[in-house]
Structure 1
Amino acid sequence: MPAVRKIRSAQAATLHPSFQVDYDSNVWTFAQTTVGQQREFVTVDWAIPVARGELLTDYKHRGLLDELKCYLKTSIVDDTVRMTVGSIPSTYMGVRELVKFMGEREIRTLFDISTAVSWEYVEGLEEQYIMAGGDVGRDRAWTHSTAYKLIHPLTQIYELADSLRARGGQAPCEAPFDGRKTYDVVTGPLGLARTGGLLPIPDEISVPILTYAYEWIEHGSEDVIRLQAEIIPMLIDARSAKGPRRIICLREIKRHIEEFQMSPIPGTLTPWHEPLLATDRIDDAGDEREISGTQALRRLILMTQSACSTLLQACTGIRAHELIGLSLDHDPTLQHGVIKSVTSLDGLMEVFSICGISAKREATRHEWTAGLRPLGTKHMPIVLKSIEVLVRLMEPWRALSGSSTLMLSFSHAKSLPSGADGVGRMTANRNSLLQREFAVEALTKKRGIEMTQAIYEVRSLRPQRWRITFAHYVFRSKPELMPALRTHFRHMSEQITDQGYIGNDAALLENLEGERVMETSRFLVQITLGKPIGGGPAQRLLMQHAESMAKALSVMDGETLIDKAVAYVKLTDLRIWTGTYASCLIDMVPDRSSCNPHASLLTVRASPDFGVRSPGLCAGCKCCIILPEHRDFWEDRLLKNQTIVQADRINSKDQRSKIAMSRIVQSRAVLKMISKATGDASDRSGGS
Structure 2
Amino acid sequence: MKTLLAGNPAVAGWAQAPVSPWSRFGDDEWLLDIRTAGRRADQNRIGWALELPEGAIISETAWRSLHRTAKQFLWSMTVNPPTGRKRLSPASVHSKAVTLKTMIGWMALDGLETFSSIDAGAVERLRTWLPTRPGLKAKSITANTIVNYMLVLKDLYRQRAKLNDAPLVDPLPQETTYEAAGLTPATRGAIPFIPDPIAISLLNAALQWVENHGPTIVRAETVRRQAHEAGLTQGTRRQASDHVRKALRRINLTGPAGEALLGAHAVRHAATRLVEACYIVIAGFVGMRVSEILSIEIGAIESHPIAETGVEQAYLVARLFKTVDQHGGRMERWIAPEPVVKAVELLEQLSAPLRKASGRRELFLVKNTQYGEVVPVTHMHIGWRINDFARHVGVPLHEGEPWAFSTHQFRKTFARFIARKDRSQLLGLAEHFKHASVAMTARGYVGNDFDLRQLIEHENRAETATALERMLLSDRLAGRMGERIAANNARFRGRAGEQVRRDYIEFVLTDTDLRIHACDYGWCVFQRETSRCGGEVGPSEAGRSPAVCLGCANMVIELRHAPYWRDRRSRNLDLLPRANAMTAAVLTEVIEQCDTVLTRIGEKDE
- Normalised by the length of structure 2, the TM-score is 0.65
Question: What is the identity, as a one-letter code, of the residue corresponding to 2:203?
Answer: L
Question: What is the identity, as a one-letter code, of the residue corresponding to 2:247?
Answer: H
SS at match of 2:375: strand
Corresponding residue number in structure 1 for 2:600: none
Structure 1 residue 3 displacement after superposition: 3.4
Corresponding residue number in structure 1 for 2:449: 490
Report the more deviating stretch, 121-130 or 385-394. 121-130
Indicate whether 1:257 and 2:256 are aligned: no
Indicate whether 1:394 and 2:356 are aligned: no
Report the more deviating stretch, 91-100 or 504-513. 504-513
Question: What is the identity, as a one-letter code, of the residue corresponding to 2:374?
Answer: V
Checking the alignment, whether the CA contact within 8 Å between 2:78 and 2:89 is kept in structure 1 is yes
Structure 1 residue 433 displacement after superposition: 2.1
Checking the alignment, whether the CA contact within 8 Å between 1:158 and 1:172 is kept in structure 2 is yes
Question: What is the identity, as a one-letter code, of the residue corresponding to 1:342?
Answer: H
Measured in 2, the distance between the counterparts of 1:305 and 1:559 equals 48
Indicate whether 1:85 and 2:90 are aligned: yes
Measured in 1, the distance between the counterparts of 2:514 and 2:47 equals 48
Over 3 Å counting, the alpha-carbon distance change for 1:46 and 1:155 in structure 2 is farther
Question: What is the identity, as a one-letter code, of the residue corresponding to 1:295?
Answer: H
After superposition, what is the alpha-carbon deviation per residue over 1:206-237, rounded to whole angstroms, capped at 9, x for unaligned?
Answer: 22222222222222222222222222222113
Structure 1 residue 144 displacement after superposition: 0.8
Corresponding residue number in structure 2 for 1:647: none
Over 3 Å counting, the alpha-carbon distance change for 1:392 and 1:94 in structure 2 is closer
Measured in 2, the distance between the counterparts of 1:557 and 1:493 equals 26
Report the more deviating stretch, 497-506 or 197-206. 497-506
Corresponding residue number in structure 2 for 1:669: none
Correspondence 1:551-566 to 2 at 5 A: none
Corresponding residue number in structure 1 for 2:121: 120
Question: What is the identity, as a one-letter code, of the residue corresponding to 1:10?
Answer: G
Indicate whether 1:43 and 2:43 are aligned: no
Indicate whether 1:432 and 2:383 are aligned: yes
Question: What is the identity, as a one-letter code, of the residue corresponding to 2:386?
Answer: Q
Corresponding residue number in structure 1 for 2:284: 314
After superposition, what is the alpha-carbon deviation per residue over 1:323-344, rounded to whole angstroms, capped at 9, x for unaligned?
Answer: 111223xxxxxxx1x2333322
Over 3 Å counting, the alpha-carbon distance change for 1:66 and 1:349 in structure 2 is same
Measured in 1, the distance between the counterparts of 2:173 and 2:180 equals 10
Checking the alignment, whether the CA contact within 8 Å between 2:228 and 2:243 is kept in structure 1 is no
Question: What is the identity, as a one-letter code, of the residue corresponding to 2:202?
Answer: I
SS at match of 1:139: coil
Question: What is the identity, as a one-letter code, of the residue corresponding to 1:183?
Answer: Y
SS at match of 2:450: coil
Structure 1 residue 428 displacement after superposition: 1.4
Question: What is the identity, as a one-letter code, of the residue corresponding to 2:292?
Answer: E
Computed over aligned residues only, the root mean square deviation of the Cα atoms, in angstroms, reads: 4.1
Structure 1 residue 557 displacement after superposition: 12
Measured in 1, the distance between the counterparts of 2:461 and 2:78 equals 34
SS at match of 1:177: coil
Correspondence 1:56-95 to 2 at 5 A: 58-78=60-80, 80-95=85-100
Over 3 Å counting, the alpha-carbon distance change for 1:468 and 1:46 in structure 2 is same
Structure 1 residue 509 displacement after superposition: 6.8
Corresponding residue number in structure 2 for 1:186: 181
Checking the alignment, whether the CA contact within 8 Å between 1:342 and 1:352 is kept in structure 2 is yes
Structure 1 residue 71 displacement after superposition: 0.2
Corresponding residue number in structure 1 for 2:330: 365
Measured in 2, the distance between the counterparts of 1:557 and 1:317 equals 29
Gaps of 5+ in 2: 423-437, 472-504, 516-526, 538-606
Structure 1 residue 102 displacement after superposition: 4.2
Structure 1 residue 398 displacement after superposition: 0.9
Correspondence 1:322-341 to 2 at 5 A: 322-328=292-298, 336=299, 338-341=300-303
Measured in 1, the distance between the counterparts of 2:398 and 2:252 equals 28
Measured in 1, the distance between the counterparts of 2:243 and 2:441 equals 56
Corresponding residue number in structure 2 for 1:274: 258
Corresponding residue number in structure 2 for 1:343: 305
SS at match of 1:197: coil
Corresponding residue number in structure 1 for 2:482: none
Corresponding residue number in structure 1 for 2:578: none
Measured in 2, the distance between the counterparts of 1:13 and 1:477 equals 55
Question: What is the identity, as a one-letter code, of the residue corresponding to 1:473?
Answer: F
- Size of the aligned set, in residue pairs, is 462
Corresponding residue number in structure 2 for 1:461: 405
Correspondence 1:653-668 to 2 at 5 A: none
Measured in 1, the distance between the counterparts of 2:345 and 2:177 equals 46
- Normalised by the length of structure 1, the TM-score is 0.58
Structure 1 residue 183 displacement after superposition: 2.0
Question: What is the identity, as a one-letter code, of the residue corresponding to 2:32?
Answer: F
Measured in 2, the distance between the counterparts of 1:111 and 1:42 equals 28
Corresponding residue number in structure 1 for 2:585: none
Give the alignment partner of residue 10 of structure 1, picking from 13, 25, 28.
13
Checking the alignment, whether the CA contact within 8 Å between 2:420 and 2:460 is kept in structure 1 is no
Structure 1 residue 514 displacement after superposition: 9.3
Over 3 Å counting, the alpha-carbon distance change for 1:14 and 1:107 in structure 2 is closer
Measured in 1, the distance between the counterparts of 2:235 and 2:141 equals 60
SS at match of 1:340: strand
Indicate whether 1:171 and 2:174 are aligned: no
After superposition, what is the alpha-carbon deviation per residue over 1:134-191, rounded to whole angstroms, capped at 9, x for unaligned?
Answer: x6764341421221122221111122234x25xxx34322222116431232247xx6
Checking the alignment, whether the CA contact within 8 Å between 2:294 and 2:364 is kept in structure 1 is yes
Give the alignment partner of residue 110 of structure 1, picking from 115, 123, 127.
115
Over 3 Å counting, the alpha-carbon distance change for 1:237 and 1:87 in structure 2 is same
Question: What is the identity, as a one-letter code, of the residue corresponding to 1:203?
Answer: D
Measured in 2, the distance between the counterparts of 1:83 and 1:358 equals 18
SS at match of 2:372: helix
Structure 1 residue 435 displacement after superposition: 1.9
Measured in 2, the distance between the counterparts of 1:108 and 1:327 equals 49
Over 3 Å counting, the alpha-carbon distance change for 1:171 and 1:497 in structure 2 is farther
Over 3 Å counting, the alpha-carbon distance change for 1:128 and 1:53 in structure 2 is closer
After superposition, what is the alpha-carbon deviation per residue over 1:234-287, rounded to whole angstroms, capped at 9, x for unaligned?
Answer: 2113233445xx544422312333553337xxxxxxx8552435xxxxxxxxxx
Identical-residue share of aligned pairs (%) = 18
Measured in 2, the distance between the counterparts of 1:260 and 1:456 equals 41
Question: What is the identity, as a one-letter code, of the residue corresponding to 1:159?
Answer: R
After superposition, what is the alpha-carbon deviation per residue over 1:308-333, rounded to whole angstroms, capped at 9, x for unaligned?
Answer: 111000000111111111223xxxxx
Structure 1 residue 200 displacement after superposition: 1.9
Measured in 1, the distance between the counterparts of 2:32 and 2:135 equals 30
Over 3 Å counting, the alpha-carbon distance change for 1:141 and 1:89 in structure 2 is farther
SS at match of 1:23: coil
Measured in 2, the distance between the counterparts of 1:429 and 1:28 equals 22
Measured in 1, the distance between the counterparts of 2:172 and 2:21 equals 30
Correspondence 1:162-311 to 2 at 5 A: 162=161, 164-165=162-163, 169-178=164-173, 180-187=175-182, 193-242=186-235, 247-258=238-249, 260-262=251-253, 272-276=256-260, 293-311=263-281
Measured in 1, the distance between the counterparts of 2:441 and 2:226 equals 51
Correspondence 1:612-651 to 2 at 5 A: none
Measured in 2, the distance between the counterparts of 1:391 and 1:142 equals 40
Checking the alignment, whether the CA contact within 8 Å between 2:282 and 2:340 is kept in structure 1 is yes
Structure 1 residue 486 displacement after superposition: 9.3
Over 3 Å counting, the alpha-carbon distance change for 1:175 and 1:404 in structure 2 is same
Measured in 2, the distance between the counterparts of 1:255 and 1:505 equals 60
SS at match of 1:347: coil
Over 3 Å counting, the alpha-carbon distance change for 1:199 and 1:97 in structure 2 is closer
Question: What is the identity, as a one-letter code, of the residue corresponding to 1:173?
Answer: L
Over 3 Å counting, the alpha-carbon distance change for 1:109 and 1:238 in structure 2 is same
Gaps of 5+ in 1: 264-270, 278-291, 329-335, 373-380, 414-419, 448-452, 521-555, 567-688
Over 3 Å counting, the alpha-carbon distance change for 1:121 and 1:239 in structure 2 is farther
Correspondence 1:601-620 to 2 at 5 A: none
Over 3 Å counting, the alpha-carbon distance change for 1:143 and 1:396 in structure 2 is closer
After superposition, what is the alpha-carbon deviation per residue over 1:477-506, rounded to whole angstroms, capped at 9, x for unaligned?
Answer: 269679848944723596544336864674
Checking the alignment, whether the CA contact within 8 Å between 2:18 and 2:24 is kept in structure 1 is no
